[in-house]
Chain A
Amino acid sequence: MSASIETLVNREYPYGFVTDIESDTIPRGLDEDVVRLISAKKGEPDFLLDWRLKAYRRWLTMTEPHWANVKYPPIDYQNVIYYSAPKSVNSLGSLAEVDPELLRTYERLGISLNEQKRISGVAVDAIFDSVSVGTTMKAELGKLGIIFCSFGEAVREHPELVEKYLGTVVPHSDNFFAALNAAVFSDGSFCYVPKGVTCPMELSTYFRINSESTGQFERTLIIADEGAYVSYLEGCTAPRRDTNQLHAAVVELVALDNATVKYSTVQNWYAGDSEGKGGIFNFVTKRGKAAGVNSKISWTQVETGSAITWKYPSVILQGDNSTGEFYSVAVVNNHQQADTGTKMIHIGKNTKSTIISKGISAGQGNNSYRGRVKVLPKAEHARNYTQCDSMLIGNRCGAHTFPYIEVQNDTATLEHEASTSKIGEDQIFYCKQRGLNAEHAISLIVSGFCKEVFQNLPMEFALEAQQLLGITLEGSVG
């Protein structure tokens, strides 16, 4: 391994800084009182508290799932802080009132919440630990009837919409982590696009975990009413810490007749150091319901961070002629472990799903694709195409594929393709011989490998993802 590559391996995670800010933090641990306390802090209506309690009681009866191909020490759920909010956010007024320290934090992360300096064409909701610190572009969106705000605000301002859709895609009892989230979720983003409206800009949420020992349990709910279209982006970072932090989020998407929801994630949580110490445990439930006829849900994810990733963005294809898509790039380096994939549940007639998964493993990383395609009896002429490619860099990493297929209707057409390749010394040498350095060579080879996924990301994001991938893999070939 050359000296320059060595330096790059040891390069620090650029978002690992901690913001020094006074927080309103509740004591560690979880019981019914904590659930009530969180709900009270947010001034929630009864239906929501009841729902939380129902989830909490259900959670007590559940056990943590261990079927994923990941290994980690037991999580002590009583040693986690379930609510932490910067004190200065309490006013929840306009962005002008946001603590400058928080604004600076987001500036450092490359997210400007300043209305004058914001990236044009993108509206941002910034979540810091347990609460939203501000949402940009609300007025412009409001003119079209689009609601884009923090979850907490949605509960206060639009309780009827929250009550109508909350838990309709990921029920409170769905799985261990989803039930935990339902009990203790503190904030998240909410979006509703009314009938026939095409959202003119990208909506985005930027998640930041700051406080130590704090779990982040946010919940995002996006609804595209009949004929509506929305494209949504999610980004995440966390400080580098020696202890693991828990992130158990839930995202629910609903697309009614002829509506489309496109959801893109670039996940860059702190992954732990090169020895595997620290990092985020990312146990996330993401699911969309293509509820209406001709509706479409499309997931695109670039997973580069976290010590553990457990995540299966899925689509329930309920409406006739509905479409589900999953485009994924998951990268593991050092000691990272990812078990990620999707579920496509075909219920309606002529439903169509596409799965393109690209797994890249480097260092001692372990990458598993886990996917389920299920065609129910009434899903006449359902179609699925799955392509699952793995790339190995070095000889201490692993790639695994676990596809599950269940077909209960004879008219279904399913295709599955899989490949495994290795970035060889020869490929890198070829690029070097043409004048590219190792770093450039790897990023070129990897972005070629991920092309079909990157094509589905919004422009600004595609570039960021490509660079991020380069950084994650720097130095992985010696």
Chain B
Amino acid sequence: MALLEIHDLHASVDGTEILRGVSLAVNQGEIHAVMGPNGSGKSTLAQVLAGHPAYDVTEGTVQYDGEDLLAMDPEERAQKGLFLAFQYPVEIPGVTNAYFLRAAYNEIRKARGLDEIDPMEFHDLMERRLALVDMEPAMLSRSVNAGFSGGEKKRNEILQMAVLEPRLAILDETDSGLDIDALRVVAHGVNSLKRPDNATIVVTHYQRLLNYIIPDAVHVLVQGRIARSGGKDLALELEARGYDWLTADASAYSAP
């Protein structure tokens, strides 16, 4: 059974339909890339899966690990191992990174019936994870994302992912605005966290991240639908040909 099974998903924001029938299945142990031009609905898909309240799901189903994902509150989804690396990570002034992460870590443990871990234990865990994303321990005592550079914010998302060890991670344009070194760090983090029982969806506009994270499948989202799915070569084809040929297809397809 697939870890994530999206069937005919429709979603809109302020009455405008953005997702217009997305179907997609992701198995454990797989990395999927969702690509597409600007405005195709890539980020919407990521946000809808995470449960952002601004989006209304109007049709379709999403099964996550055999459960109805859409019936869950966002925090419940997170507690069950769904993680979204935000395209625009949010700043929380005055709350240290370490405190925030421990709060999140403990909520997830509590939801799974495990004991909370104390600050010392947590500190050791963090030290190991920091190395993975090449971050200085000083980052932990800074406020969550406040005053972080764009690259630091993205790396911080990967650090959180490394600490929370999700079953399904969704990376929403984590590569945008990153220089090549930061891109490598992010990719290294994602690759090191890959396990047979988890899965990753990489949402991206560009092919370049996929030079470092090798996807098992690539899906192209155009005008709120998956216009084409394929292997990693599809990404290279998009790099060479752009999105126009698929956009034209999709318009033709959606015409009455």
Contacts and interface: CB of A to CB of B under 8 A. Distances in A.
Interface string B20-39: 00000000000000000000
Interface string A439-474: 010001101111110000000000000000000000
Interface of B: 50-54, 73-75, 77-79, 83-84, 86, 89-90, 92-95, 100, 103-104, 107-108, 111, 143-144, 160, 164
Interface of A: 2, 424-427, 429-438, 440, 444-445, 447-452
B23 to A, nearest CB: 24
A449 B164 CA distance: 25
Contact of B107 (A424, A440, A450): A440
Contacts of A436: 75, 103-104, 107
A433 B74 contact: yes
Nearest to B143: A448
B144 to A, nearest CB: 8
A444 B73 contact: no
Contacts of A440: 103, 107
Nearest to B163: A434
B93 A449 contact: yes
Contact of B95 (A432, A433, A437, A448): A448
SS of A interface (majority): helix
Contact of B74 (A432, A447, A449): A432
Given A425-B53, A429-B53, A435-B108, A2 B95 contact: no
A435 B78 contact: yes
B92 A2 contact: no
A427 B92 contact: yes
Among B51, B100, B111, which residue has the most Cβ atoms of chain A within 10 A? B100
A447 B96 CA distance: 11
A8 to B, nearest CB: 14
14 contacts: A425-B54, A429-B52, A429-B74, A430-B90, A433-B75, A434-B78, A434-B103, A435-B107, A435-B108, A436-B104, A437-B107, A444-B100, A448-B92, A448-B94
A61 B101 CA distance: 60
A2 B103 CA distance: 22
A448 B93 contact: yes
A427 B52 CA distance: 11
A396 B162 CA distance: 40
B226 to A, nearest CB: 24
A213 to B, nearest CB: 42
B73 A432 contact: yes
Contacts of B93: 448-449
A424 B52 CA distance: 12
Contacts of B78: 432-435
Nearest to B83: A433
B104 A435 contact: yes
B122 to A, nearest CB: 14
A445 B95 contact: yes
Contacts of B53: 425, 429
Contacts of B52: 429
A444 B90 contact: no
Given A2-B73, A425-B53, A434 B94 contact: no
B103 A430 contact: no
List 3 A-B pairs, minimum CB-CB distance, nearest first. A448-B94, A448-B95, A434-B104
A432 B94 contact: no
A204 B107 CA distance: 35
A358 to B, nearest CB: 10
Given A427-B90, A427-B92, A448-B93, A437 B100 contact: no
Contacts of A452: 94
Given A429-B53, A440-B103, A444-B100, A435 B111 contact: yes
Given A2-B73, A437-B107, A448-B144, 5 more contacts: A432-B78, A435-B75, A445-B92, A448-B94, A451-B94
A427 B143 CA distance: 14
A447 B107 contact: no
Contacts of A438: 75
A435 B54 CA distance: 18
Nearest to A449: B94
B160 A434 contact: yes
